[in-house]
Structure 1
Amino acid sequence: MTASARPTVLFVCVHNAGRSQMAAGYLRELGGDRVEVLSAGSEPGDAINPVAVQAMAEEGIDIAGYTPAILTTDAVRESDVVITMGCGDACPIFPGKRYEDWELTDPAGRPIDEVRPIRDEIRARVSALLKELLPA
C-alpha cells in the first residue's frame, strides 16, 4: 500500500487537549503507519490535559509530547474522515468527506477516575473506526 492510499483521520474538539488527543493517540498506536492521524481544536488550549496524559500512560501510550493545534481548513480538506467531539459548527464542511460526531464527556477538570471511562469509550470507538477503514 502506498503512502497516498492511507486514509487520513482528523479528530477535532474544542481545546484539542483531551478527547481528540486521546483518540489520536489510540489511532496512532492501533493503526501504525496504515493510517495518517491529525488532531486539532476550534479554540486550542495551551497544553494537553495532564489527566488525559496520565490516563493514556496507563494504557502504555504517551501523548505528553503533543501540543494543541488550531483547526485549519487545510486539515479538513486533507482528511478522509473528520471526527468531531463537541466543537459544534466550527468545523468546515467539504463534500465527499466522511463526518462523524462522537458525543463524549469532556475530561477537562475531571479526576482520573472519571477520565478512565471516557478514555475507554474513545478506545472502543477508535477500534471500531479502524476496522471500518482497514478491513482485514
Structure 2
Amino acid sequence: MRVVLILLLAAVISAAGAHGAAGHLEADARAVTLRFEYSVGEPMADAETAVYDAAGVLVQRGRTGPAGLFSFVPVAAGEWQVWAGDGLGHELRVPVTVDARGQAALEGGPTAVKLPPMLLLGLLLTSVALNGLLLLRLRRRSPS
C-alpha cells in the first residue's frame, strides 16, 4: 500500500512540474505573429497579451485567438517584449528582435515558464495531507 501511495505522490509531483507555457514565432510578411501554447501543445486561447517597446513602454494590449495566436506590427526596428498570461499562473515574456528590414527573430529561441513554485508547493502539501488522511482512515478500519 505504501508503494502505491509513494508512486501516486511521485506522479502528481512530476505531472505538476511538467506543465508550463511556451511562445513560438510564426512567419508573416508584415506583422510579428506569436503562437502561445502550453507545454502539452494545447493553445493558450484567450490569454491576455501586452507588447512593450525597447524603452519598456506599453504599446499594445490584446488577447490571443482560439489557436493561441497574437500579432502586432512593430513601428520600428529594435528589441520588443511580448507578454502573455492566462490568469491561471501561466505567464511568459517573449523577447522579439526586429531588424531594419522588418524581419523578426526570437532572442534565444522559444521561452517557457513553469508553474509558480508556490503552486507546486501547494499541490505537494495537498497531496501529502490527502494521503495522510487516507492512511488514518485505513488504520481505523483495520483490526488491531
Q: Would you say same fold, with TM above 0.5?
A: no
Query: What TM-score results when the alignment is normalised by the length of structure 2?
Result: 0.24
Query: What TM-score results when the alignment is normalised by the length of structure 1?
Result: 0.25
Greater RCO, 1 or 2 (C-alpha within 8 Å, sep 6+) = 1
Could you say which structure has the higher strand fraction?
Answer: 2
Rg larger in structure:
2
Could you say which structure has the higher helix fraction?
Answer: 1
